[in-house]
Structure 1
């Protein structure tokens, strides 16, 4: 019965001081230290076998991480290819259809007869739905609404209920059931950050969610809403990483090792989204991962490279190149242009800061109305309708987000740019105020629509809309800077606006030159990105993904931001000691026999379960409250209800010491070396210990005597820090 619930590696820990553990429950905190020790037992067991079989197993174990990374990269590229091709085709159905092949994109359909940058009406093989403006407008809106309903409909299939932490008046952190979550909704990046930070979210990386995310992203992008598929690609690649890693026992049976592979998989997601393999690795390191040792960096590098190579061979864009928005401006910038790049950075920081604040406010107000909260498909319908009505009249933002960027980055001095609508308007000698008006209108529309769109219940990301808004503003500013292509400022403006929204720096700079192939413009990107981050941070320290975590209520210990609040608060660890009645419920006074009555443990288990904290447990003390060990709720429940079936109801349960044959023994599940800290220690100690060591729980002892006075679990610390941020 024990073997059916615990792995061989876990059973090997039964006689050690850290104790045997079961698999983690849903929405609980993993114990990074315990999983480290568990992996050490596994490695010693493999390398102690000196025969040929043992050496072969050791070789396979050492190479399994590289094999898994390569497979994840290849499979992610295959999924990305299908999504890219399907999204491009379905999106063009709003405008018309290809007479030679209905599954061709407009660009592919017109490639043999005319430039893809020309309006659809100039391509003989691509037929629009009507010659009149009103008819085309109506069909556009109808298709957009249909695509939005399909995307929202499939997303509803991933609905799940999770517990959520809540703080009572007594200061104790309780968990309440009924938190609804749509696993495939949004970009998935806030949830992935939560998972990589050490929490378990059930079914979030399942095959079902992967399929729904891919299908939903195709139709969500095709609506024309201010969202992109780049964020969902990161979720998709992480799902692929989880599914592949489960075929390897060292990842399947160890949550710490699993998160190493998931961090590598994240890199593949952005690699295929932008054709930016190096930027993908840096994005995983800078923006998503909490734990990123050097070996994870190497495997992420391989995973991202394989994903980029496979995608290049599949060639979803038809160009045969990995660079999505290749440009060649030729002319270099001068010193005076740094002032323009600084202005773009300031504008990007203001845009990002305003966007984060207003989107957070929108999520906390509008989405709390019952009709919106209980009917998320209705919200999607309203936003698709508003988006279609606002974007269709503007020729610059009528296209999908990636096509908008491609249009705005055009260099009008090249030979093949004469047919571009942007270049035609910029070349007019009778004034281009109408064109300037469309640029202003597009920038403001993107800001407003992105604010109300991000967070709706369809697969969606914020990267492309932020790039669109920045490119529009940069092109607008470039109209008033002579002697240099306005496309340069569109490119730098796109980076600045995304930096303001996401607070990315190094990874974003690399992504931009991989995205455009313009290595000469790294310095302008660096200037604009740094200025944008400084300005945005002055308006609010948290980026869009951090705020999304707060809105969604996921437990996440943000060490960088948390320490700042703690340093300003000047508090001690004793601030987090649970109330006296809570300590009575979770404390077991173990007598000298090291055994307690079964009914005492059963009563304690009922009290733990009634509080709903699946991360909680019982602390064992002896001899005037001296700490002896910690028994987590999951192991206690398993021991009493599964193993307990083999013993009489009045049997005493051994919790400490060496068991004799026939005894009801739970001592193998007890962690006899839990980490502890003095109650009078600065709160920074507790934050650093939870953040750097990945603790699940921390014992608090009295100054001078060493008596146990409290227990802190990670979720309680997170709830306390959230109170400091928003209190």
Structure 2
């Protein structure tokens, strides 16, 4: 009876009577200096103060695993209370700095992001013009800067150099210019892609052959290191799908390093200069997040807490789009709507400050030479009429069809074309082919010969303005004597729209820094300008502007943030309502064709784990599923379950065997679940080593793989190989091999018969790392679900829907 009473107390006890911090310090004092330094590095002072709590100890996160949002929330509270409980001027100053550190970090991130963007913008404009000629005054100047006193701002750079003696074209021959254009583009593409190859990294994983071999090996064999798994080019693409994965709680190692930032910036310069259907706006978001990560490493508040770090990264994303479009408010909304899954009010304020500093610094640096943030300033001098709403709806429908078709076609293209060995193993060769096709198809068309941002600037022009009358677009839009439109010009607009669609499909996803925002705006502006030729009563530039927003909405499914970006981008606040109409119609149309936007599909193609609660609930809602559908197989549960006897101790050999099985499975964010074993306490070894059947044992706690490995590898050498390890309760003797401080004594659980929506909401809204599943009525453990298992299960349901 006393033993039963003690066991009952053990199941309900939440606090320790003996301070775990003292026990850990005793263990550290017994280690040699090298081992002690490793332990102190792995267990921070803030985490040592948490050892007396019931949330369990966490160590630095393993590669490509999940963070524990709840644990980091408690950890930040412990840090805050510890600092504020201390007396003296020093801790008062530390407390003030801690309160201001978020604002300071946000301001620094915005400033540094603007500096990087300035260098990329100026360099890209110069390099891109080398395909046409060079500035005789200074080869490092772009054509616009070289001819700023000779050539109108909106002059087509593809025209002859008449009136601009400072810019010398390579040759006056059309075919010679064509050949030089293609040669420079191919050279730029090879440089960009080859540089991107420098950021190839392999994520740790366990190969299937080794897993099979591991099952046949002796359980006492030494632990084997994990082999390399999936390879990633960290600087390739826009980076937005990976950032969404990181901000949702996962960890992608090396993705935000300084090397990736430098390669991303350098590669984006030459990738955009090729003239391919890509933009540098997506890479700017990645660059700003890299800056946010490196700045966060300067502050202990962010360096030691994954949850807090992601708050700073969300704010940093806003500055990336702010410098890309000169749209500080749109950047904040973009981070909130499109990228972040966790965006509390304080993150909104800091994102606002970060975006503000980025815009202020960029305006002073003045990369465009206009002294303004607005990139494509428009002033049409006319307003739309109610009858034009029908045209805006048509533009929205066209944008939705374009977006839906693009998402599906790009997804299928990636699954088909990029699996060929020659393309998969030689990404530079794919860039060579894409650049060649792009140059050959775009150069003959004067509308698409330019970089993407210049295309938009030329298509938004108002031909009623005297300053724009000499541009190529306005000259071709001049009506013939009979009132008809130039037929060749209509053909070029149609040709440009189709080519942009096709080239963007095959370009997005190539192994160079690239974004999809500018190509979508280009295609929409071309189609809008084409449609505007049928409506002579109003400037066609208005329809080009609204069409650009509609096409981007169809691809990305952005709404509020896109509307704000467009009026910040053009300064045309009067046309907010047409933008709203077209954007909403485009989103509805695109959703009817493809439920997921381009970034969601890119995450699927790249194989990144991501949990979007809204999309997940939409998938689960179609089926009548219960949480028990997520319960792992019996063999898996046998491997991860430890039955703890009333003595609260199990043999060390059992834990080492369990750890070995975890490592061989390759799930680095898994762990062991502890259940109460009611067996005879005189035979703890037998009870601890016996297999557990599904539904047996009352849940007692959970110890993650990282903590278990640290305890056995770093602290374990202090004890004999046959030592008993305490997992629950309080230590009774000094120097006892005690890992109870690493056990989460209050793991969250849900009933197996609960609707599956419960699990989706718990993982999505609370940011859980794992969730225990218990039997209805008895409370016995039946399974443990980690976040990756839920994501994999939802991906399977999604594949069923696609079929």
Common topology (TM > 0.5): yes
* Distance (Å, rounded) in 2 between the aligned partners of 1:52 and 1:417: 64
The counterpart of 2:450, out of the listed 393, 399, 403, is: 399
1:128 to 169, 188, 193: 169
1:267-666 aligned at under 5 Å gives the runs 267-429=318-480, 431-622=485-676, 623=678, 625-659=697-731, 660-666=733-739
Give the Cα–Cα distance (whole angstroms) in 2 for the partners of residues 489 and 384 of structure 1. Answer: 30
2:272 — aligned with what?
221
Deviations 1:19-47 (A, max 9, x none): 11100011001110000000000000011
Distance between the aligned counterparts of 2:487 and 2:278, measured in 1? Answer: 28
What residue in structure 2 maps to residue 171 of structure 1? none
Summarize deviations over 1:523-576 as a string: whole Å, max 9, x none. 000000000000000001100000000000000001111101111111000001
Please report how far the alpha carbon of residue 3 of structure 1 lies from its aligned counterpart in structure 2 after TM superposition: 1.6
Q: CA RMSD in A?
A: 1.5
**Are the counterparts in 1 of residues 400 and 589 from structure 2 also a CA contact under 8 Å?**
yes
1:513–1:522: 8 Å Cα contact kept in structure 2?
A: yes
- Equivalent position SS for 2:782: strand
Q: Distance in 1 between matches of 2:424 and 2:771?
A: 37
Structure 1, unmatched stretches of 5+, are: 169-173
Q: Once structures 1 and 2 are overlaid, which stretch shifts more, 300-309 or 13-22?
A: 13-22
Q: 1:193 aligns with which of 244, 248, 255?
A: 244
In structure 2, C-alpha distance between the alignment counterparts of 1:466 and 1:52, rounded to whole Å: 56
Q: What is the aligned partner in structure 2 of residue 152 from structure 1? A: 193
Matching residue of 2:750: 677
**Cα offset for 1:167?**
12
Contact (CA 8 Å) 1:165, 1:719: kept in 2 or not? no
Q: Deviation string for 1:186-221 (max 9, x for gaps)?
A: 000000000000000000000000000000000000
- Displacement of 1:653 after TM fit? 1.0
> For residues 799 and 649 of structure 2, what CA distance do their matches in structure 1 show?
45
Output the CA distance in 1 between the equivalents of 2:114 and 2:228: 38
Shift of 1:651: 1.3
The CA distance in 1 between the partners of 2:205 and 2:467, in whole Å, is 56
Deviation at 1:166, TM superposition (A): 11
- Does the 8 Å contact 1:234/1:270 carry over to 2? yes
Give the distance between the partners of 1:216 and 1:136, measured in 2 at CA.
25
SS at 1:323's partner residue?
A: coil
The separation in 1 between residues aligned to 2:85 and 2:517, in whole angstroms, is 49
The whole-number CA distance in structure 2 between the counterparts of 1:590 and 1:488 is 72
Structure 1 ranges of 4+ moved more than 6 A? 164-168
Instruction: Decide which of 287, 294, 300 is 1:236's aligned counterpart.
Output: 287
1:369-425 Cα offsets, whole Å, 9 max, x none, are: 111111111101100000000000000000000000000000000011121000000
- Please name the residue that 2:77 is paired with: 40
Within the candidate set 62, 65, 86, 2:99 is matched to 62
Counterpart Cα distance in 2 of 1:121 and 1:167:
62
Distance 1:638 1:53 in 2: 34
Are the counterparts in 2 of residues 160 and 180 from structure 1 also a CA contact under 8 Å? yes
Aligned to 2:203: 162
**Which secondary structure state, in structure 1, belongs to the residue aligned with residue 51 of structure 2?**
coil
1:104 equivalent in structure 2: 141
> SS in structure 2 opposite 1:181?
strand
Matched, 1:699 2:699: no
Distance 1:107 1:625, change over 3 A: same
SS in structure 2 of the partner of residue 4 of structure 1: helix
* C-alpha contact (below 8 Å) 1:619/1:629 kept by paired residues: yes
The answer to whether the 8 A contact 1:397-1:404 is kept is yes
Partner of 2:222: none
Listed one character per residue, the Cα deviations across residues 489-539 of structure 1 (whole Å, up to 9, x for unaligned) are 000000000000000000000000000000000000000000000000000
Whole-Å separation in 1 of the counterparts to 2:151 and 2:349: 45
With structure 1 as the length reference, what TM-score do the two structures score? 0.98
Distance between the aligned counterparts of 1:477 and 1:336, measured in 2? 15
Find the partner of 2:260 among 209, 212, 217: 209
Shift of 1:121: 2.3
Higher CA-based Rg = 2
SS of aligned partner of 1:636? helix
Task: Find the aligned partners of 1:39 and 1:347 in 2 and give their Cα distance.
Answer: 49
> How far, CA to CA, are the matches of 1:419 and 1:643 in structure 2?
78
Assess, with a 3 A threshold, how the Cα gap between structure 1 residues 165 and 716 changes in structure 2: closer, same or farther.
farther
Give 3-state SS (helix, strand or coil) of 1:55's partner.
helix
Asked if the contact 1:164/1:553 (under 8 Å) is kept, the reply is no
For residues 325 and 243 of structure 1, the distance between their equivalents in structure 2, rounded to whole angstroms, comes to 32
**1-structure distance, mates of 2:619, 2:334:** 26
Q: Distance in 2 between matches of 1:525 and 1:564?
A: 28
| TM-score with structure 2 setting the length | 0.89
**Secondary structure of 2:368's partner?**
coil
Cα distance in 1 for residues equivalent to 2:512 and 2:160: 28
Q: Secondary structure at the match of 2:40?
A: coil
Aligned pair partner of 2:302 in 241, 247, 251: 251
Q: CA deviation at 1:163?
A: 4.7
Q: SS in structure 2 opposite 1:411?
A: coil
Instruction: Report the counterpart of residue 684 of structure 2 in structure 1.
Output: none
SS in 2 for 1:13: helix
1:171-193 CA distance string (max 9 Å, x none): xxx99952110000000000000
* TM-fit CA distance, 1:165: 10
* Deviation of 1:4 (Å): 2.3
Does residue 717 (structure 1) correspond to residue 793 (structure 2)? The answer is no
Deviation at 1:51, TM superposition (A): 2.2
SS at match of 1:3: helix
The match for 1:138 among 179, 192, 195 is 179
SS in 1 for 2:201: strand
In the alignment, is the contact (CA less than 8 A) between 1:165 and 1:715 conserved in 2?
A: no
What CA deviation, in whole Å up to 9, does each residue of 1:260-309 have, x standing for no partner?
A: 00000000000000000000000000000000000000000000000000
Distance 2:625 2:207 in 1: 22
- Offset of 1:115 from its aligned partner? 2.1
Distance 2:787 2:636 in 1: 16
**Is the Cα–Cα contact under 8 Å of residues 207 and 229 in structure 2 kept in the other structure?**
no
Confirm or deny: 8 A CA contact 1:605 1:636 kept in the other structure: yes
The one of 15, 19, 24 equivalent to 2:61 is 24
Q: Residue 73 of structure 1 corresponds to which residue in structure 2?
A: 110
